[in-house]
Amino acid sequence: MSDINFEQRCAIRFCFRLEHSATDTFAKLEHVYGDSVFSRAQVSRWFKAFSEESRLKVNHAGEDLHPQEPMKMSIEYGILCIQIVGVDYE
C-alpha cells in the first residue's frame, strides 16, 4: 500500500472514530489530497468496513468482547489527521 493511501485510510478511521460522516470526511480528504484523493465510494466503503468491524466487537449483551487497542501511528500521521479534520486546539 502506498504511503498516501495509508495516510488517507488513517485519516478516514480517525474521522470515523470522531463520528464524522463519510461525506464530511471525503470533503476534507479532497481538500488536502486534491486529485490524489480516494473516490467518494471508496471512502464510504471504508466507513462501512469500520462500522461492521465495530459491530462485530460487541456481543448481544452489549459488552465489549475485544477492547479496542489505541490506534498506533507516528506523530506525523497524527498531525496530518488533525489537519485533515480541521481541529484547532490553540
Integer-rounded Cα radius of gyration of the chain:
14
Q: How many CA atoms lie within 13 A of 57 on its CB side?
A: 11
- Given this model, what pLDDT does residue 12 score? 93
Residue 65 confidence (pLDDT): 47
- Note the pLDDT of residue 53: 76
Does the pTM of the predicted model rise above 0.75? no
Amino acid at 36: S
Q: Which pLDDT does position 60 carry in this prediction? A: 45
CB atoms within 10 A of CB 77: 17
What is the rounded CA–CA span in Å between residue 54 and residue 41? 20
Per-residue model confidence as pLDDT tens for the chain (90 residues): 578 888 999 999 999 999 999 999 999 999 999 999 999 999 999 999 888 776 655 544 455 544 455 555 566 666 666 666 665 544
